[in-house]
Every structure is written in C-alpha cells, then in structure tokens.
Structure 1
Amino acid sequence: MNFPLVMFILLVITGSIWLLDYLILRHKRTPDQSEPLWIEYPKSFFPIILIVFTLRSFIIEPFKIPSGSMIPTLLVGDFILVNKYTYGLRLPVINLKIMDINQPKRGEVMVFRYPEDPSVDYIKRVVGIPGDTVTYHNKQLTVNGDMVKMHYEGEYKYVESGLGYIYAEHFKEFLGDRDHAILINQGIPSLQLSSVRHFPFLDHCTYHRAGFTCEVPPGNYFTLGDNRDSSSDSRYWGFVPEQNIVGRAFMIWWNFNDFNRIGLSIN
C-alpha cells in the first residue's frame, strides 16, 4: 500500500469538504440546524490528517526494520525514525526534490526506494558517493584507493529465522567521519556472482569471484548492508539514484523485544 498516496487522497477529500462548508454550506444552514455527519466527520479529521501528512512528508517518518541485513546496527523489529529533510525537501507522493539542503555522506544510514521496485523502502549504509570508486575484495572495503580501517571486536551470535544461530565476526569499521559495527561471515564468499542482476550503469562495475569494483556515476550512491554476508545491496542490484532517496535514519524509537534499544542513536 502506498501510504503517502492514501494520506494525500484523504487530505484532499477532507480538506475539500472543510473548504466547501466554510465557503458555502454553513451559510445555508439555519442557526438551529446541526452539521450533517458527512460534513462533521471530515472536518474533524482534516486537521489531524494535515498534521500527520506534513510531519511524515517533510520532517520525520517512522519505519520498521523487517530483515537482518543491517545487524548489528539495526535488529529485526526495531522501529526507527527517518529525517526527511536532511537530504533536501521533497514533494510527497512523487518524491520530487524542491530544495537542496545536504547530500548523503559516506557512513550514513539511508532509507531509499528500492530501485527495482520503488514501492518498497530499503535501508542500507552509504559507502560510495558520486565519483567514488568502491572496491570490495576478500571482505575488505576500499574507497578511492584507501583501505577502510577495521578493528576486530570479537564473535557475534544472532538468530536468523528458520536457520537457528548464526555465528559471525564483529568488526568496527571506520568510514568517512564516523565508525559503525559490521558483521562478516568468513564461511560465505564476498560476492554471490549468480545473484548479480542487470542494472543501470552495470558497465561501471567489474566483478570477480573475490569481490568487485564499481565507479559510482553522477547522481547515484553505492550502499552496503552492515551484515555484509546477509544483505541484498548495491553489489547485486546496482546504484541508488538520487531521486529514490527518502531520508537519513537517526534513531530507534521502539522495539517490543528489547526496551533498552529505545532512544538509541543510529551510527
């Protein structure tokens, strides 16, 4: 369901009824005549819908994490908040940018519309901005020829649906002006070549068994999941166009399974 579109339609309907009543219909009612229900209810809901629509469209939007591709930064079941104006103001529904504010930076966690199906929202970490050369070889990330520093933090164990416990190595990765946690499973190849699809600017990438190198084209971004060996990301379906960007994830506001995660910042 396209929630922004539904909200927009409800806003237009309730707003039109409110305006029609304000300009015309209320003047035709006698002082002792009450509002019809078809006018009373839309007028009551209009300000609420207007506030929710404005907040979700231009300021903050909530999302729920459905998969483990961003473990350990984000867990399945985390409810997060996304800043909608960090990367510029956009018109709702059509997602057209009307004002530039900031551009995504390496290391930031970004929500965007999945290039292969824009009705689906994805969340990944930005590792390459326009003009960057991103290389991932034998589990090591390199950007513009500089090897991204990693520090081993120990073993990490988590439960994956239907598979039981998964054991991985926990690293702190230093990308851009921030650090964040990633997981690496040495028993899984750096790249599943059979899963690489045909996507726009595929010719900007070179693939091999141990990894890949991609040159990020103008107006696009390269993303990876923090759970490197359990993530469908740019290495498989390509670059994220600027027009697909939704916003920057910045806080976990709820998790039914772990109240200690409430209020955590997203690094």
Structure 2
Amino acid sequence: MKKREETDVAPKKKGALRENIEAIVVAVILALFIRTFVVQAFKIPSGSMKDTLLIGDHILVNKFIYGVKVPFINKTIIPTHDPQRDDIVVFEFPEDPSKDFIKRVIGIPGDVIEIRNKKLFVNGVPVKNSHGIYSDPKIYAAGTQPRDNLGPITVPEHKLFVMGDNRDFSYDSRFWGFVDFIAVKGKAFIIYWSWDKEDFGVRWGRLGHLLE
C-alpha cells in the first residue's frame, strides 16, 4: 500500500493593496515614534538667534537628550541629564504653550544672573563668548526695561534663564522670566536645510552645520 504523499500548502499571498497599506501604517507609526521621542524638525521664523540661526534655517532637535517624556502631559519617565549652559533649546513659550521658542541657556538652577549696560554676568563672572551679538548702540537704563540692565536674580530649581543670541532683538527671559525644565522639548544640534526667502535661494554653506 502506497503511503500518502505529503504536500506543502502554500499560504495565500497578501494582496498588493494590503501590503502597501501595512507598509504605510508601519512607516507612519515609526515616524511618529521618532518625532515624539527621538528627533524633531523645526523651522526658524525670526531673527532672535542671529547669527547662529537665521530666518529660514531648518533644524533638527534631539528630544531624547534630556529624557523621555510622555506625550501631551510632558511627564519625564526616563530622566537622563539636565540642560547645560550654552545649550540651544526648543521649549514651550511660557506665555503661550502652543508656541515653540528657541533660545540659548544662559543660567541653570542656582546661577546668579546680572546684566549691566549690556554686559552679561553669571555668578559674578563676565560671560565672554562669540554667540551674543549687540547691534543697537542704545542702552536702556535700569528701571525702564530689562533688556540692558537686569538683576542680580537667582535661577530657581528646575528652571532655566535663556536668551537669544541676537541680544538687542530677542524676547526672552529678561522680559518674561524663567523656563521650566518640563517645558523643554530638546536640544538643537544641526541645520539640515536653509532657505533665504529674500534672495530666493538655498544657503548651501549652512547645510549640515552643527550648532554650538
């Protein structure tokens, strides 16, 4: 008596439409995961960070560097390390959390910040670097507005004091106060695209520029 021959039953092939839909869904989920937890793209709309960042620069922001946060409630579930002085950070604007701002960290918790006639001091030591620029020769006296004369003030726990590099034309912590750690979305680290709207052209020399 002959043994019954075993036969392999080939599984039904997925339809091309279903395969494409599944690939799209996976790609969307992966993109959302990366955007939420790893890296996010932002466009610079103002000149408050000139000359470090120009209007039309497109940057990538590392969202993992300061810890993993739960979306929507901004609760940190995996802390890593806190922002440091000179970091360029993107954060929710304290006066309107629906807007994102980008500035440079000047003071961290415990630092004493003082500005005397546009000269910046942190913990009594004058800050000398090439980031901050001043293009308005006018100096506002203390008591009129805080742009050119401020403090001394101490940065509270879990807060940051931030300023734009375009010091005379930046709306920052001098005017509206401190940034809470929880409002920080990440650290800007590279310019991946730059478009000059006035000259209608690409700023090729800025592409791939690492931010300091």
**TM-score category (smaller protein):** 0.7 to 0.9
Shift in Å, 1:250? 0.5
Kept after mapping to 2: 8 A contact 1:81/1:253: yes
**Paired AA for residue 135 in structure 2:** N
Match of 1:199 in 2: none
Cα deviation digits, residues 74-122 of structure 1 (max 9, x gap): 0000000100111111122322111111111111111111111111110
Task: Tell me whether 1:108 sits opposite 2:87 in the alignment.
Answer: yes
Cα distance in 1 between the residues matched to 2:158 and 2:14:
58
Instruction: Report which stretch shifted further, 86-95 or 246-255.
Output: 86-95
Match of 2:206 in 1: 261
Q: What SS does the corresponding residue of 2:162 show, helix, strand or coil?
A: strand
Task: Tell me whether 1:134 sits opposite 2:79 in the alignment.
Answer: no
Gaps of 5+ in 1: 1-30, 150-172, 174-179, 196-206
Q: What SS does the corresponding residue of 1:48 show, helix, strand or coil?
A: helix
Aligned counterpart in structure 2 of residue 181 of structure 1, from 125, 131, 145: 131
Match of 2:199 in 1: none
Task: For 1:55-94, list aligned pairs within 5 A.
Answer: 55-94=34-73
Shift in Å, 1:137? 1.2
For the pair shown, the structure with the greater C-alpha radius of gyration is 2
Kept after mapping to 2: 8 A contact 1:221/1:241: yes
Kept after mapping to 1: 8 A contact 2:147/2:175: no
**Paired AA for residue 253 in structure 1:** Y
Cα distance in 1 between the residues matched to 2:125 and 2:148:
21
**Paired AA for residue 139 in structure 1:** K
Task: Tell me whether 1:45 sits opposite 2:20 in the alignment.
Answer: no
Kept after mapping to 1: 8 A contact 2:44/2:57: yes
Gaps of 5+ in 2: 1-11, 197-202
Shift in Å, 1:41? 7.7
Kept after mapping to 2: 8 A contact 1:191/1:211: no
For normalisation by structure 2, the TM-score amounts to: 0.83
Cα distance in 2 between the residues matched to 1:247 and 1:82:
6
When residues 225 and 190 of structure 1 are mapped into structure 2, their CA distance, relative to the original with a 3 A threshold, is farther
Task: Tell me whether 1:125 sits opposite 2:104 in the alignment.
Answer: yes
Kept after mapping to 1: 8 A contact 2:117/2:148: no
Cα distance in 1 between the residues matched to 2:33 and 2:185:
15
**Paired AA for residue 114 in structure 1:** F
Cα distance in 2 between the residues matched to 1:67 and 1:92:
27
Identity %: 40
Would you tell me which structure has more helix in proportion to its own residues?
1
Shift in Å, 1:193? 5.9
**Paired AA for residue 181 in structure 2:** E
Instruction: Report which stretch shifted further, 212-221 or 247-256.
Output: 212-221
- What RMSD in Å do the two structures reach over aligned CA positions? 2.6
**Paired AA for residue 131 in structure 2:** A
Shift in Å, 1:191? 7.4
Aligned counterpart in structure 2 of residue 224 of structure 1, from 156, 163, 166: 163
Match of 2:177 in 1: 238
Cα distance in 1 between the residues matched to 2:81 and 2:185:
13
Q: What SS does the corresponding residue of 2:165 show, helix, strand or coil?
A: coil
For normalisation by structure 1, the TM-score amounts to: 0.66
Cα distance in 2 between the residues matched to 1:98 and 1:230:
36
Cα distance in 2 between the residues matched to 1:110 and 1:66:
15
Instruction: Report which stretch shifted further, 228-237 or 85-94.
Output: 85-94
